[in-house]
Structure 1
Amino acid sequence: MNRALKIAIQGGPASFHETAAKQLFPASSVSTLSCASFTELCQTLASGLADFAVMAVQNSLAGPLLPNYRLMDQFNFSITAECWLLLDQTLMALPGQKLEDIKEVWSHPIALLQCCDYLEGMAGVSTKETSDTADTARLLKEDHITGVAAIASQKAAELYGLEVLHHNVANDVENYTRFVVLTRETQPKAATKATLLLPYPVVQFSLESILEKLEPCALDVTMLQLLPSPNPGQPEEWVLELESDQAACITQALAALQTVAPTHTILGVYPKAEAPLPQDRMAGCLSDILKAQPELA
């Protein structure tokens, strides 16, 4: 009998990462290893305790989680798959609590950002950042915390016996997060999506040349984001993501990039998942970047 795959995730039972892991490994027996942070997730995979890791990298409302791209590079991981997950951000509290009883709302900082419009409408209510959505729901239940609501999934409310105060509190009910599968092994292959890091000076001075090189390749540039340096004095980089309906076009694009940015780093070449929303509805899309950086246009 084959053993269960060990998948490192950020968060615990009923977290969105757990749901994504089961979606990404539907035909496998999966055992998730809960990690309190994305750094711990990477350390768990690097140590060999996990076979794979599942990590959030982009949200349709909050944009890309850029520090996670830096972690992939630091740990020399490779992306092998991706999926989009619809998030049902739900406001919940102990049974018997009402909206007027709530003085604080706790959740992961990205979840709070996704729900900022709703939270701004809660007069006199403050927010507190926590390490995980579902684990916040567990904490409220186990410590019997009153006057506080959590934002987490409907599944977390059911698991921990909390009362739903309001469904779908995100700024947009079409609130999607993209998750990727990470592995320690780099396995070059032909596929329909590529994630790369480009040296900042190359992008700064020759973006037009890069886009011209990519134009004949029949693909979409779905992300171009500045990745700040973790340490002063170190060069910055840009995250570049390319998609195509044909793997040959990605191979062609990577060859073309070699001539204008030979020092680029490939974080993964893998099958693309169809985006649930048009690119112009994604926070941090290429058009937004070009508008904010007119010198690059």
Structure 2
Amino acid sequence: MNRALNIAIQGGPASFHETAAKQLFPAAHLQMVSCASFPELCEALESGLVDFAVMAVQNSLAGPLLPNYGMMDQHGLSVLAERWLLLDQTLMALPGQKLEDIKEIWSHPIALLQCCDYINKQAGVTTKETSDTADTARILQEGQITGVAAIASRKAAELYGLEVLHHNVANDVENYTRFVVLSREKSTTEGNKATVILSAAEVKDSMETILERVENGLELTMLQPLPLENPGQPEHWVLELEGDLAGEIAQALEALSVVAPNLNVIGRYPKAEAPLPQDRLAGCLSPIVKAQIELV
């Protein structure tokens, strides 16, 4: 019997990360290793505690999770695959609680951001950030906490015996998050998508090359500066390119390496079909880059 694959996820049972991991490894026997944070997830993978990790990197409403790209670079991790997951952000509370009883809504900060329109309409209700959506549901159930609702998946409501107060509370029912499979080993796959980290100077020097590739049929789906951890730290950007053929991506990376010799290719992997058009995916391209692309 083959041993189980140990997969690090952010959150616990019934979390969106668990669902994504099961979809990304459909034929494997999996042992989920729950991590309280994304740094803990990356450390678990880098240390060899787990075989792979599954991590969210982008949401269609909240935009890219830019610190996560920086962590991939910092820990020397590689992207092997990706998948988009439709999130069913659901408002839930202890059985017997009604919407008018709720004074606080708890959830992960990204989930709260995805549902801010709904939350802002709830008069007198405040929010509290937690480390995970599904784990928040568990805390409510175990603590028998009244006057508080959680935003999590329907699976979390079922697992922890909570009552659904409102379905689909995200700002848009088409609320998707992109998850990636991370490995300690560099991918040998010649995929039709690439994730690259470059210095700010290299982005400036390579912009003409990037725009040439866009003009010749590739799609630039991400170009954003990464947040700085320390003052005075060199600025880096994350770039993602997609094409129809793996060879097109290989040629583009070869051309980029000429003008940006220190670029770090985080991964080349098969692109997942985006569920929404690029113009409906929040915050993927910086305003300056958008303006330049429009001129191409």
Same fold (TM over 0.5): yes
Distance, in Å, in 1 between the alignment partners of 2:204 and 2:243 is: 25
- State the percentage of identical aligned residues: 74
Contact in 2 for aligned 1:61/1:114 (Cα 8 Å): yes
Bigger mean CA deviation after superposition, 284-293 or 72-81: 284-293
Distance, in Å, in 2 between the alignment partners of 1:256 and 1:159 is: 51
Distance, in Å, in 2 between the alignment partners of 1:161 and 1:289 is: 48
Distance, in Å, in 1 between the alignment partners of 2:213 and 2:170 is: 39
- TM-score, normalising length from structure 2? 0.96
Contact in 2 for aligned 1:190/1:269 (Cα 8 Å): yes
Distance, in Å, in 1 between the alignment partners of 2:192 and 2:167 is: 36
Which letter does structure 2 place at the counterpart of 1:151? I
- SS of the residue corresponding to residue 197 of structure 2 reads strand
Contact in 1 for aligned 2:64/2:284 (Cα 8 Å): no
Aligned to 1:177: 177
Aligned to 1:56: 56
Q: CA-to-partner distance for each residue in 1:141-193, whole Å, 9 max, x for gaps?
A: 00000000000000000000000000000000000000000001113331111
What 5-or-longer segments of structure 1 have no aligned partner?
none
Which letter does structure 1 place at the counterpart of 2:16? F
Distance, in Å, in 1 between the alignment partners of 2:130 and 2:47 is: 25
Which letter does structure 1 place at the counterpart of 2:254? A
- TM-score, normalising length from structure 1? 0.95
Q: CA-to-partner distance for each residue in 1:178-234, whole Å, 9 max, x for gaps?
A: 000000111333111100011102324552343125533x31111111112211111
Bigger mean CA deviation after superposition, 269-278 or 222-231: 222-231
Which letter does structure 2 place at the counterpart of 1:103? K
What is the 5 A alignment of 1:203-218?
A: 203-204=203-204, 206-216=206-216, 218=217
> Are the structure 2 counterparts of residues 264 and 214 from structure 1 closer, same or farther at C-alpha, using a change threshold of 3 Å?
farther
Query: Structure 1 residue 123: deviation in Å?
Result: 0.5
Aligned to 2:91: 91
What is the 5 A alignment of 1:1-297?
A: 1-204=1-204, 206-216=206-216, 218-286=217-285, 288=287, 290=289
Distance, in Å, in 2 between the alignment partners of 1:11 and 1:69 is: 19
Q: How many residues are aligned here?
A: 295
Contact in 2 for aligned 1:225/1:289 (Cα 8 Å): no
What 5-or-longer segments of structure 2 have no aligned partner?
none
Distance, in Å, in 2 between the alignment partners of 1:209 and 1:12 is: 43
Contact in 1 for aligned 2:193/2:241 (Cα 8 Å): yes
- SS of the residue corresponding to residue 21 of structure 2 reads helix
Query: Structure 1 residue 280: deviation in Å?
Result: 0.4
Contact in 1 for aligned 2:209/2:256 (Cα 8 Å): no
Distance, in Å, in 2 between the alignment partners of 1:289 and 1:146 is: 47
Bigger mean CA deviation after superposition, 5-14 or 205-214: 205-214
Contact in 1 for aligned 2:91/2:167 (Cα 8 Å): yes
Distance, in Å, in 1 between the alignment partners of 2:3 and 2:205 is: 51
Which letter does structure 2 place at the counterpart of 1:236? E
Which letter does structure 1 place at the counterpart of 2:245? Q
Which letter does structure 2 place at the counterpart of 1:208? E
Query: Structure 1 residue 261: deviation in Å?
Result: 1.4
Query: Structure 1 residue 285: deviation in Å?
Result: 3.2
Distance, in Å, in 1 between the alignment partners of 2:186 and 2:16 is: 26
